[in-house]
Chain A
Amino acid sequence: MSNSIRKVSSFGTLHVAEARIRNMAKWAFIILFAAVINPTLYLVSIGIGVGSLIDANNGVEGVSYLTFLAPALLASAAIQGSSDEVIFPTMAGFKWERTFFGMRSTPLTARQISLGIFLAAMVRTIVSVVIYWIVLYLFGALESDTAWLAMPAALFAGAAMAAVMLALAAKIEKEDFFFTIVGRFIMIPMFLFSGTFYPLSQMPVFLQFFGWISPLWHATELGRYLTYDYPLPGIQIFIHIAVLATMMLVGLFLSARVFDNRLEK
């Protein structure tokens, strides 16, 4: 490929992302409002409410429950936000408004469309994660100097999940119950069984398996390592990063293929 074509092709992705971001900007207020209010509510309610019960008992891992919970909530918010931000536009693009078919009749390629949607979702996720992190910081939930690195870790989890959901949302042609199914069988179980609220090791082994395939657990482990002195051997750090990276790359690869198939039809 010549250099100039390469340039055009990468700009294509940016154009798609730009269109998405302009669209999101209309909802900027709601997005920002939710980004601030959600963590605040969860921290006060679960962190302090449930936390007071736990801290009064034996605590967890020698830190306050708030500190324990913070990186998990951060990663969870990143995953939720990025997933929403790929699922809805993808459904709209293929089905409700069929905008992707319009885009496809311009020089844009299917792969650029899928990447553009993904990129836009990441921009939104960065905003949410930064705000969330600031709220956590203000609540005094972040203890270590490396705590700011929890942001990229959470973002990474958001990217891994978004890539997979992008492929899935593009693959589904009948959306009737897609949202119910995704919520009930993917999002909520992941939120509840990824070592979010207590160490994964507390669950029976057969349930721990769920954590291993959950991007939330991998990001939470990294986040805990970065926000307080949670011991994590180097090899495990490597594994967590590798799993998230694999999910993201496989997800993006599959998305490009599915987009290609559906748009070429």
Chain B
Amino acid sequence: MTTEAVQLSERRLGKFGDKYFAGRPQQVLLRNWISFKSSAWIAVVSGFLEPVLYLLSFGYGIGELVGSIATPGGEISYAAYIAPGLLATSAMNGAMLDSTWNVFFKLNESRLYNAMLATSLGPLDVALGEIAWALMRGGIYATAFTVIVAALGLVTTWWALLAIPAAIIVAFGFASFGMAITSYMKSHHQMNFFYIFLLPMFLFSGAFYPLTVFPGWGQAIIKALPLRQGIELVTRAMSGEFGIHILVNISYFMVMICVGLFFTTKRLNALFMK
């Protein structure tokens, strides 16, 4: 008997990753879309609110106490100063949530991935589909945030639109890394370790103040952290003053994405096939 399903899967034999990949990650996206359409979308849509609230509260409230900030590009308002950091941070948080807790939940609690993998989908379809969904969501949040930042008059150049792809790169880096680490997690208690790492990174990566308040060695450590790299990347993209340094930030994330995807793929069996 050769059914449609069988023909389709046979057609992929000998092609890239036929062991793990059916070439259909878009079906995982479709599933998320169907689920999203009928869900309490207010909870999803409002996801971009958090950085906006921080921007309003800190930018204008603390901004009044701080005055303007001197940057290489000249004096800017405190709100304009923190906007890219908030965008990078929310890209990180969203990506981490999607690639760690949500993956863990769908794997162990709702067993959604069990159902997907009982079909002719491969683990790589699932991983790519989930990452793509997270990035699309992150991209939409980033766009909303950037539009608000622009509407508040905090950007001065059309280059600021580049903040959107920059935020997506940041999200991609964290999502692929998060998934790789999740593949090593055995219980949901271990998942809390992410947060022990994420909170200090958020507080010290200089989203709210220049790193110069720290001693030199402290700055060096912080600059090696992914969130700091993300903040620099988004800041440079949003201001339109990239310089050669933006290549360092981008390379950092390319490495992070590749390493993350490498380990995720390597551990796919461990991740999805207990």
Contacts and interface: CB of A to CB of B under 8 A. Distances in A.
Given A189-B53, A192-B53, A57 B204 contact: no
Interface in B25-63: 39-40, 42-43, 46-47, 49-50, 53-54, 56-58, 61-62
A49 B78 CA distance: 14
Given A57-B67, A197-B62, A198-B62, A45 B57 contact: no
Contacts, number: 79
Contacts of B43: 176-177, 180-181, 184
A180 B46 CA distance: 9
A101 to B, nearest CB: 22
Contacts of B213: 48-49, 52
B72 interface: no
A232 to B, nearest CB: 20
Contacts of A46: 203, 208
Nearest to B209: A49
Highest count of chain A CB atoms <10 Å: which of B53, B65, B204: B65
Nearest to A27: B189
A203 B203 contact: no
Nearest to B203: A45
B199 interface: yes
A192 B57 contact: yes
Interface string A17-55: 000000000000010000000100110111011101110
Given A45-B203, A46-B208, A185-B46, A53 B66 contact: yes
B62 A50 contact: yes
A197 B69 CA distance: 18
Given A46-B208, A48-B213, A192-B57, A198 B64 contact: yes
Nearest to A183: B50
Contacts of A180: 43, 46
Nearest to A60: B65
A235 interface: no
B23 to A, nearest CB: 33
Interface size on A, as a range, is 20 to 34
Contact of B65 (A54, A188, A192): A54
Given A41-B200, A177-B43, A184-B46, A53 B58 contact: no
A217 to B, nearest CB: 13
Contacts of A45: 203-204, 208
A50 B64 contact: no
Contacts of B69: 53
A6 B199 CA distance: 47
Contacts of A181: 42-43
A65 B66 CA distance: 11
A52 B57 CA distance: 18
A79 B182 CA distance: 31
Contacts of A184: 43, 46-47, 49-50
A202 interface: yes
Closest 6 CB pairs of A and B: A45-B203, A192-B57, A177-B43, A49-B209, A198-B61, A180-B43
14 contacts: A41-B204, A42-B203, A46-B203, A49-B204, A49-B208, A53-B66, A57-B67, A184-B43, A184-B50, A188-B50, A188-B53, A189-B53, A192-B53, A192-B56
Given A54-B62, A198-B64, 4 more contacts: A41-B200, A41-B204, A54-B66, A181-B42
Interface of B: 39-40, 42-43, 46-47, 49-50, 53-54, 56-58, 61-62, 64-67, 69, 78, 192, 199-200, 203-204, 206, 208-210, 213
